[in-house]
Every structure is written in C-alpha cells, then in structure tokens.
Chains A and B, each alone.
Chain A
Amino acid sequence: EAAVTQSPRNKVTVTGGNVTLSCRQTNSHNYMYWYRQDTGHGLRLIHYSYGAGNLQIGDVPDGYKATRTTQEDFFLLLELASPSQTSLYFCASSDVGNTLYFGEGSRLIVV
C-alpha cells in the first residue's frame, strides 16, 4: 500500500514565525507535490519536485520555499508566516502513471 506521511498534523504559529512542514513517501515515486486546500479554491499547487535536489514552481509559490532532500523526503518552508497562509496543506507523490497518492494533511493556523 502506497504511503505518504505528513508532519506535523496540526500547527499554530504567530505571524512572522518560521514553519517547516515535512512529507515522507515510501512509494519509490519520483514526483512529490505540495498543495494547499482552501474553501472556494479547491487544491492549489505550491511546489513540486521530480527528484532529489529538484524543485519546480507551482501556481501559488509566493511566500513558500521547498526542498527535496532525498527521493523520500519533501519539505515545505514558510520563513515569515502570514495569516493568509492559514490553510490545510497536502503532500502527494506520484509515479509515471500520474495517479496522486496523498497524505492526511497538515493544518496550519497563523495568528
């Protein structure tokens, strides 16, 4: 069974704070993704990667950095968190067949 694990599952931080969301996949997939989910917007692609050391910009990258350290691990960094980044964040991985496997999500609140 494909597995994508996110941590933390819940996080509260203050405006201007530093947050790192972590994602690990055990699917041996090349592609990994970070999405944010907001009511009325569905899922929006922040960053993605097709392998260790690679980073591609998605549709809503402003305010986010990402780093793919290994094939398994993909991190999303918010260096100066803002209330507009309060959201539910999902990590996903995929193979060449294009089916996405999602984690359970990380809920971030920026106060």
Chain B
Amino acid sequence: TQTVSQSDAHVTVFEGDSVELRCNYSYGGSIYLSWYIQHHGHGLQFLLKYYSGNPVVQGVNGFEAEFSKSDSSFHLRKASVHWSDSAVYFCAVSPNSGTYQRFGTGTKLQVVP
C-alpha cells in the first residue's frame, strides 16, 4: 500500500523567502510522486511529478521538487516566494500503473507580504 505524509500542517514565510514543504512516502514498488496546489475555493492544480531519471524535477511558477529514495522523501521547494503562492499544497503518490493517486493531508502555505 502506498501512503504519503505531510508533517507540516501550516508554514508561514515572508515574501521573497525560500520555502521547503515536506513530503514523505511509503511504497511497495515503483511509484509516481506529484505535487498539487489548491487556492482557496478552487480545485487542485498540478505542479510537477517524478517517476524516474533526474531526481530534481521542475514545475510551474518556479517550483521544484527533489526525490530521495534513501529518505523516502519528495520535498517541494521554491527559492523566492510571492504572496500569490499562498495556498494549500498536496503531495500525492501513485502506483506504477498510474491508476489512482493517494494524497497527503496538505500543507497550508501563508506568504506574508
């Protein structure tokens, strides 16, 4: 069974700061790992995903994430956040078949102007 955990429910940073949102997973085989963003009152939108190859993947709007097999992690990073990055971020894991995704509990990022 694939599971994903996000240990930080809330993260607050100032505009222009860097941020790292943490995601850890457990799995029994090959998996996809993804990050999604949810702005208040809307559905989730895809940011980036990893399956194989370069462990650092680039996403939209300056986000990147790094896969680590040894740490069972897939942390999301941004070098300089903007107030518009305030949202809830979800990490998701999917089996190799890609048939479904399981989500973490989400991390609410608040960027203070």
Instruction: Report A's interface with B, CB cutoff 8 A.
Output: 4, 31, 33, 35, 40-45, 48, 50, 56, 58-59, 90, 92, 94, 96-105
Give 7 new A-B contacts, CB below 8 A, not counting A98-B49, A104-B43: A40-B105, A42-B6, A44-B103, A59-B102, A90-B44, A92-B43, A98-B98
Residues of B within 8 A of A43 (CB): 44, 90, 103
**How far does the Cβ of B21 sit from chain A's closest Cβ, in whole Å?**
13
Could you show 27 A-B contacts with beta carbons less than 8 Å apart?
A31-B100, A33-B100, A41-B105, A42-B104, A43-B44, A43-B90, A44-B103, A48-B100, A56-B99, A56-B100, A58-B100, A92-B44, A96-B98, A97-B98, A98-B32, A98-B34, A98-B49, A98-B101, A99-B34, A100-B36, A100-B44, A100-B46, A102-B36, A102-B45, A103-B43, A104-B42, A105-B43
Q: Mask for B83-95, Cβ within 8 A of A = 1, else 0? A: 0000000101010
Contact of A102 among B6, B43, B100, B102 (CB under 8 A): B43
Query: Is there contact, CB below 8 Å, between A50 and B36?
Result: no
Query: Is there contact, CB below 8 Å, between A42 and B103?
Result: yes
Count of interface residues, chain B, beta-carbon cutoff 8 Å = 22
- B9: nearest chain-A partner, CB-CB: A40
Residues of A within 8 A of B42 (CB): 104-105
A50 to B99, CA, bound (A): 8
Contact of B102 among A31, A45, A98, A103 (CB under 8 A): A45
- B105: nearest chain-A partner, CB-CB: A42
A41 to B5, CA, bound (A): 10
Query: Which of A40, A42, A99 is most buried by chain B, counting CB atoms within 10 A of its CB?
Result: A42
